[in-house]
Amino acid sequence: MRRARHLRGRPAVPVVPGGASVPDLRRPVRDPPLGHRQARGAGGAGAEGGAMTPSDGSPKATVTAPRRGTAAAADTAVVGIDGPALRRYFEQHVPECSGPLRVELLHGGRSNLTYEVTDGAHRWVLRRPPLGVLTPTAHDMDREYRVVAALGGTGVPVARAVLSCTDPTVIGAPFCVVDFVEGAVLRDGDEVAALPRADARRSADALVDALVALHSVDVFAVGLGDFGRPGGYLERQVRRWRSQWDKVATRALPDVEALHGRLAGALPESGAATIVHGDYRLDNTILQPGDVGRIAAIVDWEMATLGDPLADLGMLLMYWDPVCEPVLGARHVPTANPGFPAGQELAERYAARSGRDISALPFYQALGCFKLAVIAEGIHARYRAGQTVGTGFEQVGSAVPALLRSGLELLS
């Protein structure tokens, strides 16, 4: 288990889009692999879609990354961060900031870059888009911040929202900041294998229960009624991820067209729309210190939107499948400990606690396969272009064909 990031509890300070204080948390501001991961895992996308494309004039960082696990003073070079500018910005917009900042790259991430920032007395997590050029909707930090800020007053566990800056000139890219949350991230297969079986089971149950809580939130009550277009969500997802493939593809794979066609021809009827996380998985959560059966925070909201809640369940179950191991890196956590329940048990728990019909679940799992295949190809493209930070990216491309085949099998 790895110690994780951000502290909750204090009231949020004003959102700061473009550098000016704005008291409306609804218009404030999902890594890498695919959260605070946090940075853990896979390549990125904006709300409902989005991925890296070749050229939009975005600034590129030219600084050097510190070694993982070390911190650098904010006045020194840290990959993706203008340290002196960040220090000045915090002094102006974070009231509790009380001294020089030190910044640590938590993970190079396959998507948004994630950093721990501290002044010695306080700790925050800062997230910014990955290096390289992006589509206009990809890695939208403002959307990520907005959903976290809105959920802060609900029973859904999230980090406290601190600020959002949509001005790319401040540190070289838009960014958002939340409190550091103490806890553990179950990401390393070897460490997970050492967990008592009962703890593995409790963490999986907590994962499902937190998802049910998220899908129970009244979007209008928390100010997110306009956060997405719930109508036609599944159709747009299928179309958009097919479009994103064209923007990131490094090779021709016939199964892309085959899976797209099957998905488009098998769209189920969606129920009432809810907040959809978009990348829900075990290592996009931080577990309570000393109690892996409770979730301290859900992280990596970069793909959040309004839509069909079963898309989250399908994605979670797809992550539970060893086929995605090359994307996640390290050993596949759900198979590392026999205490973890099978994916079918997760689905049954979700159905029982949410009251939702999951008879069309194979479609949602296949959609998850399609989505992650495109994301993985985007990561692979960034790796080939030398735009990734960290290790483990060389194997991500191998997951794409396997994910496509799994999706086809689910719909056969």
pLDDT tens per residue across all 412 residues of the chain: 544 444 333 333 333 333 322 222 222 223 333 333 333 333 333 445 433 332 223 322 222 233 344 455 655 557 888 889 999 999 999 999 988 999 999 864 446 889 999 999 999 999 998 876 554 455 678 889 999 999 998 999 999 999 999 999 999 899 999 999 999 988 888 888 889 999 999 999 999 999 999 999 999 999 999 998 888 999 999 999 999 999 999 999 999 999 999 999 999 999 899 999 999 999 899 999 989 999 999 999 988 999 999 999 999 999 998 888 777 666 567 888 999 999 999 999 999 999 999 999 999 999 999 999 999 999 999 899 988 767 778 888 999 999 999 999 999 9
* Residue ranges with strand state E in 75-158: 102-107, 113-118, 123-128
Q: For the sheet containing 72-73, what is the strand order?
A: 72-73, 102-107, 113-118, 123-128, 175-179, 161-165
Which pLDDT value is given to residue 40?
A: 33
The enclosing H or E element of 313 equals helix 310-319
Which pLDDT value is given to residue 55?
A: 28
pTM: 0.79
Domain for residue 333, yes or no? yes
Whether 317 contacts 343, CB under 8 Å = yes
DSSP-assigned letters across all residues of 146-207:
HHHHHHTTSSS--PPEEEEE--TTTTSS-EEEEE---SEE---HHHHHTS-HHHHHHHHHHH
C-alpha span between 44 and 31 (Å, rounded): 8
C-alpha span between 151 and 295 (Å, rounded): 15
Domain for residue 72, yes or no? no
Q: What residues make up the domain containing 211?
A: 185-410
C-alpha span between 240 and 238 (Å, rounded): 6
Query: In Å, what is the CA distance from 147 to each residue of 3, 154, 299?
Result: 24, 11, 11
Domain for residue 176, yes or no? no
Residues near 65 by beta carbon (within 8 Å), at least 6 away in sequence:
78, 79, 105, 108, 389
Domain for residue 31, yes or no? no
Split into its structural domains, the chain has a count of 1
C-alpha span between 210 and 360 (Å, rounded): 22
Please list the residues that pair with 78 across neighbouring strands: 81
Domain for residue 78, yes or no? no
Domain for residue 136, yes or no? no
Task: Please tell me whether residue 322 adopts helix, strand or coil conformation.
Answer: helix
Which pLDDT value is given to residue 107?
A: 65
Give the pairing of strands 291-298 and 113-118: unpaired
**What is the identity of the amino acid at 200?**
A
For residue 394, give the CATH number of its domain.
3.90.1200.10
Which pLDDT value is given to residue 45?
A: 37
Domain for residue 17, yes or no? no
Residues near 22 by beta carbon (within 8 Å), at least 6 away in sequence:
14, 15, 16, 28
Helix-helix angle 197-215:343-354, to 10 degrees: 40
Domain for residue 90, yes or no? no
